[in-house]
Amino acid sequence: MPRNVTTVSIPKPLADKLRERINGTAFNNLSSYVTFVLREVLAKVNQRIEKEGNKSKEAFTKEDEEEVKARLRSLGYLD
């Protein structure tokens, strides 16, 4: 095994389902597919964290204001 990779265990039924999923795709094996999925997940998590961080820095963005207005409108408070 190359030194820059490690082993992670996943349930066998899940591995079987994933193998079915990569049939006919560009992924050569299960490991490359799982690596791809996890990278995607991690990128999304990081994006969310960054977005939340910016949000708390700005405290009240134009986007927030529009969202609040829309909801106040749905409550019948604004026209």
Residue environment code for 51-73, b if the CB has 16+ CB neighbours within 10 A, otherwise e: eeeeeeeeeeeeeeeeeeeeeee
Show the binding pattern over residues 9-48: x = contacts another protein (CB under 8 A), - = does not. ----------------------------------------
Asked if 67 is part of the footprint of another protein (rule: CB under 8 A), the reply reads: yes
Give the contacts of 31 (CB within 8 A, at least 6 positions apart).
Answer: 5
Which of 5, 23, 56, 57 is close enough to bind another protein by CB under 8 A?
56
Least Å distance between CB 37 and another protein? 25
What would the two tokens of residue 46 be? 């990081």
Binding site for another protein (CB under 8 A): 55-56, 59-61, 64-65, 67-68, 71-72, 74-78
